Structure 1
């Protein structure tokens, strides 16, 4: 179902909507209404179109059903029909376009050598902008969108946007800077043709910072009940961790708690017997690179590593629980990705649920983006504490005012200086 515009809310259309990570942030902001979403539901290359099942997850949390369509083959007349049928010929307020990052991401070493065909979807955003004429465009992707070997796709889009009168802000950030309990480096793009110009997350957070303790794995998931591999919590069917074979369980049990890696097996009795053939080759070559993260445990006192699409197996990254001998559950991984506690998942398999999480724009971040976009429309900057998404690990009290911190630091320095002067005077009196 696609909504026809009936309200005075600011209208939003979401391209490559996935599980709804970007849409959710705008849906939960009272000023916006999602009127359409589109996604081809592409799973693994071997599974083909429609197998990912992300549209089921989307409609379980947002009251529309995305249109299942391959956005690489949408033509102008089809977009013009969307403008006529949904927007009644009016201009769109906000367009979200988050093409797949798989072709840009440095996680695939081939992306430094070959230009993936999916990267051209960035440029195809131009036709949606040209026809729907949104006041604001938002885009999120891997950092290589702006800094990689094939960043010319974005430069071409930017040139088109600026020709159409948009002011464009594009930057790369570690998202734990904004409260996400995960070290996730992403490119964020906001373009506006409104008279007030463009604003950004940097503008929103100017003068503020998040307490480091607020972005740790411990803060985010330590309160969830213990479960075993292959077990599902009765009170939350998404607090489920896949079963593992005996070799994987034995290997994980031997890896030290709280941040340990398979490389620690080198120093344990019978540790070599637990290594896979690939691990033994890395040890022999003494060349580990990023491979220690494979079969690694998360650390309680640090943010999670980047949660990627294929996070449904401990052999794909540092996705094991800090203490329990299992993969982090769907619920735990979702919380680390900034989804609120009440979020529901579909998609036909637990593996697809993990893919929905890894592919998503973190809602904790998209909620902040929604406030930035509303600021662009109204000219009124929101209170930073109002930009915290309820149900996530970030709390309003986790936000620190840098001005107050600096004032406190200066007061401490002044106190220390005064005490030093007093001690010096006392010493002179004693010497006299």
Structure 2
């Protein structure tokens, strides 16, 4: 007979990236999830259509509710949980209002940012033993960090101990340079541990976090055509012949439109010519850029569904990386299924998600917190992803690394 499992509730559940890591772990059961399915403030309730993907993969039907306005006691009653019965509350409010990618975030405080502080009300109502948040790195150090400071103050007043810090997720085996904020809070009497504690004394081999490791064995496909054996192995077609011609002219393995200067300048668009004339390149060459085979992918954002939005092109095939490729680079296992009937939504869902490879490690961390039993290297590798136990080795002393 299986022992009772720890109970998890996922707020702002999205397509299920955070929940999947806990669901894949035998010691946890997801008992509730909620998401308004709103992609941006101007969108209507349900427009993002992520709850169906969550339901199909996690087996729990998320409630479509506005968590910023809902009385937390309603959720506790719907899920039939006594106060203090919940073990883990995970909450990943929208990060769009914090990330430095949006210039507007340097000038104004996005109304959605207040959802961070709102998590305290749910913690007070459910009284979980552990609270976890994941968000953009700017949550910890950015201009709007007062939202995190306010949340921490509220949690401390409730009796929780709080730790908040930034992490580069490639350190944990994700084949992507993705820096995120992680917040761990534990109730009185529960030991506080972090991802740094989890990985203390261990490191991942460089070859394990490359694009080649994650997607190098997938069969080739052309833009706009799905592989016959894998509907997720599909990318958008090019709407203009010149876009495909430009893609073909960009050198393989890390090339970008900047390489067209002096070679194929007739393929440059007006925006690119304006950058050249101004001499202010910045990170602009990443646009229409190809990934490098033997480096991690660059940050996969919710706008990853177009080659013009970042370094999202395949290292040598003339197209955007497919939904399958992006999902693998984002730490989703092979078994996870995104709905590609509206392909733009699939890219948005996976770009918004907490990488399940990392949430699986968070589950291992929480189990350690709650049981006192530290995980092994195998416990850090979500089956079906690119990280393997043999990729994890004892860390070299700092003086030898230098």
Task: Tell me the TM-score normalised to structure 1 length.
Answer: 0.89
- Contact residue 10 and residue 19 of structure 2 kept, 8 A: yes
Q: Indicate the residue corresponding to 2:230 in structure 1.
A: 236
Q: Indicate the residue corresponding to 2:106 in structure 1.
A: 112
- Contact residue 159 and residue 188 of structure 2 kept, 8 A: no
Distance apart, 1:90 and its partner CA: 4.8
Residue correspondence of structure 1 range 52-201 to structure 2 within 5 A: 52-82=48-78, 85-201=79-195
- Contact residue 231 and residue 340 of structure 2 kept, 8 A: no
CA deviation map 1:238-273 (0-9, x unaligned): 0011111212111111111000010110031xx221
Distance apart, 1:79 and its partner CA: 3.8
Residue correspondence of structure 1 range 198-347 to structure 2 within 5 A: 198-245=192-239, 246-268=241-263, 271-346=264-339
Residue correspondence of structure 1 range 12-31 to structure 2 within 5 A: 12-31=8-27
Higher helix share: 1
Distance apart, 1:390 and its partner CA: 0.7
2 CA distance for matches of 1:257 and 1:146? 37
2 CA distance for matches of 1:243 and 1:311? 14
Secondary structure of the residue that 1:139 maps to in structure 2? strand
CA deviation map 1:55-97 (0-9, x unaligned): 1111111111111112121124424524xx4214553110001
2 CA distance for matches of 1:306 and 1:298? 11
**CA shift in 2, pair 1:58/1:300, >3 Å:** same
- Contact residue 257 and residue 323 of structure 1 kept, 8 A: yes
- Contact residue 39 and residue 70 of structure 1 kept, 8 A: yes
CA deviation map 1:32-74 (0-9, x unaligned): 1000000011135554221211111111111111111121211
Tell me which structure has the larger Cα radius of gyration: 1
Q: Indicate the residue corresponding to 1:423 in structure 2.
A: none
**CA shift in 2, pair 1:95/1:76, >3 Å:** closer
- Contact residue 83 and residue 125 of structure 2 kept, 8 A: no
Q: 1:370 aligns with which of 363, 378, 385?
A: 363
Aligned length: 398
Superposed CA RMSD: 1.7
1 CA distance for matches of 2:260 and 2:177? 26
Task: Tell me the TM-score normalised to structure 2 length.
Answer: 0.96
Secondary structure of the residue that 1:323 maps to in structure 2? coil
Gapped runs of 5+ residues in structure 1? 1-5, 411-432
Residue correspondence of structure 1 range 1-40 to structure 2 within 5 A: 8-40=4-36
CA deviation map 1:191-221 (0-9, x unaligned): 1115242111110110010001110101110
